[in-house]
Amino acid sequence: MVFMNQTVTAVALQPVKAKLIDSEKITINLGYVDLGHIDLMVSEGFYSNRTDFIRTAIRNQLTAHGEALRQVVARKMLVLGLQQFDAASLEAVRAAGQTLQIRVLGLASIGPDVTPELALATIESITVLGALHASAAVKAALAGRIR
Protein backbone atom coordinates (compact mmCIF):
# COMPACT_ATOMS: atom_id res chain seq x y z
CA MET A 1 0.00 0.00 0.00
CA VAL A 2 1.37 3.41 -0.98
CA PHE A 3 0.47 6.61 0.90
CA MET A 4 0.96 9.92 -0.83
CA ASN A 5 1.39 13.15 1.08
CA GLN A 6 0.37 16.68 0.28
CA THR A 7 1.88 19.73 1.92
CA VAL A 8 -0.54 22.10 3.66
CA THR A 9 0.38 25.54 4.93
CA ALA A 10 -1.15 25.70 8.39
CA VAL A 11 -0.64 29.25 9.67
CA ALA A 12 -0.13 32.30 7.51
CA LEU A 13 2.24 35.10 8.47
CA GLN A 14 0.38 38.23 9.43
CA PRO A 15 2.51 41.36 9.72
CA VAL A 16 1.80 43.62 12.66
CA LYS A 17 3.40 46.98 13.51
CA ALA A 18 6.97 47.61 12.37
CA LYS A 19 8.19 44.15 11.41
CA LEU A 20 6.63 42.36 14.42
CA ILE A 21 4.77 39.19 13.55
CA ASP A 22 1.97 37.75 15.67
CA SER A 23 2.22 34.25 14.23
CA GLU A 24 4.76 31.95 12.67
CA LYS A 25 4.28 30.08 9.40
CA ILE A 26 4.53 26.30 9.60
CA THR A 27 4.16 23.61 6.96
CA ILE A 28 2.87 20.09 7.56
CA ASN A 29 2.51 17.01 5.42
CA LEU A 30 -0.83 15.19 5.50
CA GLY A 31 -1.99 12.05 3.82
CA TYR A 32 -4.67 12.42 1.17
CA VAL A 33 -7.30 10.71 3.32
CA ASP A 34 -6.75 13.12 6.24
CA LEU A 35 -6.72 16.05 3.83
CA GLY A 36 -9.95 14.78 2.29
CA HIS A 37 -11.59 14.64 5.71
CA ILE A 38 -10.52 18.22 6.39
CA ASP A 39 -11.85 19.35 3.01
CA LEU A 40 -15.15 17.59 3.73
CA MET A 41 -15.47 19.40 7.08
CA VAL A 42 -14.76 22.70 5.28
CA SER A 43 -17.23 22.00 2.47
CA GLU A 44 -19.93 21.09 5.03
CA GLY A 45 -19.43 24.44 6.75
CA PHE A 46 -17.87 23.23 10.01
CA TYR A 47 -14.78 25.35 9.28
CA SER A 48 -14.19 28.30 6.97
CA ASN A 49 -11.00 26.81 5.46
CA ARG A 50 -8.18 24.32 6.09
CA THR A 51 -6.23 26.78 8.23
CA ASP A 52 -9.26 27.36 10.47
CA PHE A 53 -9.58 23.59 10.98
CA ILE A 54 -5.87 23.14 11.76
CA ARG A 55 -5.77 26.11 14.18
CA THR A 56 -8.86 24.80 15.97
CA ALA A 57 -7.37 21.29 16.23
CA ILE A 58 -4.14 22.69 17.66
CA ARG A 59 -5.97 24.87 20.19
CA ASN A 60 -8.09 21.89 21.26
CA GLN A 61 -4.96 19.81 21.87
CA LEU A 62 -3.31 22.64 23.82
CA THR A 63 -6.45 22.99 25.94
CA ALA A 64 -6.64 19.24 26.53
CA HIS A 65 -3.04 19.25 27.79
CA GLY A 66 -3.30 22.65 29.47
CA GLU A 67 -2.58 21.55 33.03
CA ALA A 68 0.50 19.56 32.02
CA LEU A 69 1.74 22.56 30.01
CA ARG A 70 1.21 24.91 32.98
CA GLN A 71 3.22 22.59 35.21
CA VAL A 72 6.10 22.42 32.74
CA VAL A 73 6.11 26.20 32.30
CA ALA A 74 6.29 26.64 36.08
CA ARG A 75 8.95 23.95 36.52
CA LYS A 76 11.19 25.34 33.80
CA MET A 77 10.56 28.94 34.89
CA LEU A 78 9.55 30.01 31.38
CA VAL A 79 8.14 33.45 30.59
CA LEU A 80 4.89 32.91 28.75
CA GLY A 81 4.18 35.16 25.76
CA LEU A 82 6.42 37.92 24.43
CA GLN A 83 9.68 38.99 26.03
CA GLN A 84 11.51 41.92 24.43
CA PHE A 85 15.04 43.18 25.02
CA ASP A 86 16.34 46.47 23.69
CA ALA A 87 19.75 48.08 24.10
CA ALA A 88 18.62 50.20 27.06
CA SER A 89 17.37 47.20 29.05
CA LEU A 90 20.53 45.21 28.32
CA GLU A 91 22.72 48.21 29.23
CA ALA A 92 20.94 48.28 32.60
CA VAL A 93 21.73 44.59 33.07
CA ARG A 94 25.38 45.23 32.21
CA ALA A 95 25.54 48.25 34.57
CA ALA A 96 24.22 46.03 37.39
CA GLY A 97 27.00 43.53 36.69
CA GLN A 98 24.50 40.80 35.89
CA THR A 99 23.75 38.45 33.01
CA LEU A 100 20.45 37.01 31.81
CA GLN A 101 19.28 33.44 31.39
CA ILE A 102 16.37 33.99 29.02
CA ARG A 103 13.65 31.31 29.03
CA VAL A 104 10.58 32.01 26.88
CA LEU A 105 7.57 30.05 25.73
CA GLY A 106 6.35 32.22 22.85
CA LEU A 107 8.45 34.96 21.28
CA ALA A 108 11.79 36.34 22.47
CA SER A 109 12.73 39.50 20.62
CA ILE A 110 16.13 41.17 20.77
CA GLY A 111 15.87 44.66 19.32
CA PRO A 112 17.73 45.86 16.25
CA ASP A 113 19.60 48.38 18.42
CA VAL A 114 21.36 45.56 20.32
CA THR A 115 24.92 44.97 19.15
CA PRO A 116 26.49 41.50 19.15
CA GLU A 117 28.97 42.74 21.78
CA LEU A 118 26.19 43.92 24.12
CA ALA A 119 24.30 40.65 23.65
CA LEU A 120 27.42 38.62 24.48
CA ALA A 121 28.12 40.72 27.57
CA THR A 122 24.60 40.42 29.00
CA ILE A 123 22.98 37.19 27.77
CA GLU A 124 24.31 34.01 29.36
CA SER A 125 21.81 31.66 27.68
CA ILE A 126 18.61 31.64 25.66
CA THR A 127 15.98 28.92 25.64
CA VAL A 128 13.02 29.66 23.39
CA LEU A 129 10.10 27.36 22.74
CA GLY A 130 8.52 29.30 19.90
CA ALA A 131 10.47 31.92 17.99
CA LEU A 132 13.55 34.08 18.50
CA HIS A 133 13.68 37.36 16.60
CA ALA A 134 17.10 39.03 16.49
CA SER A 135 19.48 40.35 13.89
CA ALA A 136 21.58 37.79 12.06
CA ALA A 137 24.71 39.23 13.71
CA VAL A 138 23.27 38.86 17.24
CA LYS A 139 22.06 35.31 16.50
CA ALA A 140 25.51 34.42 15.16
CA ALA A 141 27.22 35.90 18.24
CA LEU A 142 24.92 34.01 20.59
CA ALA A 143 24.87 30.75 18.60
CA GLY A 144 26.66 28.77 21.31
CA ARG A 145 24.27 30.09 23.96
CA ILE A 146 20.98 29.36 22.19
CA ARG A 147 19.34 26.15 23.29
Could you write out the DSSP letters of every residue in 69-138?
A: HHHHHHHTTPEEEEEEE-HHHHHHHHHTT--EEEEEEEEEEE-TT--HHHHHHHEEEEEEEEEEE--HHH
What is residue 30's DSSP assignment? E
| The domain boundary residue, chosen from 41, 64, 87 | 64
Please give the model's pTM, rounded to 2 decimal places: 0.61
| The domain boundary residue, chosen from 47, 64, 81 | 64
Helix (H, G, I), strand (E, B) or coil at 46: coil
What is the domain extent for residue 49?
Answer: 5-64
For 5, residues 6+ apart whose C-beta sits below 8 A from its C-beta are: 29, 30, 31, 32
Is 147 within 8 Å of 125 (Cβ atoms)? Answer: yes
Are 15 and 42 members of one domain? yes
| The domain boundary residue, chosen from 44, 64, 84 | 64
pLDDT confidence bin for 143, thresholds 50/70/90: very high
pLDDT at 15 over 80: no
pLDDT tens digits along 39-83: 999 999 999 999 999 999 999 999 999 998 888 877 777 888 999
Are 82 and 107 members of one domain? yes
Are 77 and 60 members of one domain? no
Are 53 and 83 members of one domain? no
For 56, residues 6+ apart whose C-beta sits below 8 A from its C-beta are: 47
